[in-house]
Amino acid sequence: MNTKELILALAGDVNYLTQKDISHLPVGKEGENCGGCTRSGLAIMAECAVFTDMTTKILKGESVAFQPGMFDEMTAKVTSKEIASEELNKSFDAFKAQIESMSDADLAEQTTAPWGEPMPKAKLAAFTAAHTFYHDGQLNYIQAIHGDDQVHWME
């Protein structure tokens, strides 16, 4: 398995598993936070869609950095599990299409992550999938808080 195949497989698997967990967010709780500084499952998925879109732009050679309020528009748009699922799918489809279009040399090129760290594009691509997978764990935690102890990935 080469680098491109690994990134595509990782991105596909992470999106698939996260989609399972989006669909199992507790009904009526998907837009609520769990107290303190937490965010809702929908807000978390909005961030994942925006971040994946950001890194797709960087992989295309655009310069992108974190900006205040950059997640606000998508967070306002994502008002249901269905919209969260659709937006995450769209962002991962565009991300995977960009990876498909890249050569090994393209993936080895240096770029700058949105937080300012220089890295190869392949590392940023892998980080993008890892970012969503991290947040998928938060969806699992939201499910557990509301009494769902099931692993929905095998359904």
Domains in the chain, CATH or no CATH each: 3-146 (1.20.120.450)
Q: What average pLDDT does the segment 48-75 reach?
A: 91
Beta carbons of 104 and 4 less than 8 angstroms apart: yes
Question: What are 109-144's pLDDT values in tens digits?
Answer: 999 999 899 999 999 999 999 999 999 999 999 999
CB 14 within 8 A of CB 21: no
pLDDT at position 103, please? 96
> What percent of the chain has a predicted confidence (pLDDT) above 70?
100
Q: Can you say whether the dihedral through the CA atoms of 39, 43, 45, 51 is positive or negative?
A: negative
- Catalogue the E-assigned strands of the chain: 110-112, 118-120
Contacts of 150 by beta carbon, 8 Å cutoff, 6+ apart: 24, 143
Q: What is the pTM of this model?
A: 0.94
* 68 or 48, which is more confident: 48
Distance separating alpha carbons of residues 26 and 144, to the nearest angstrom: 10
Rounded Cα distance between 55 and 103, Å, is 17
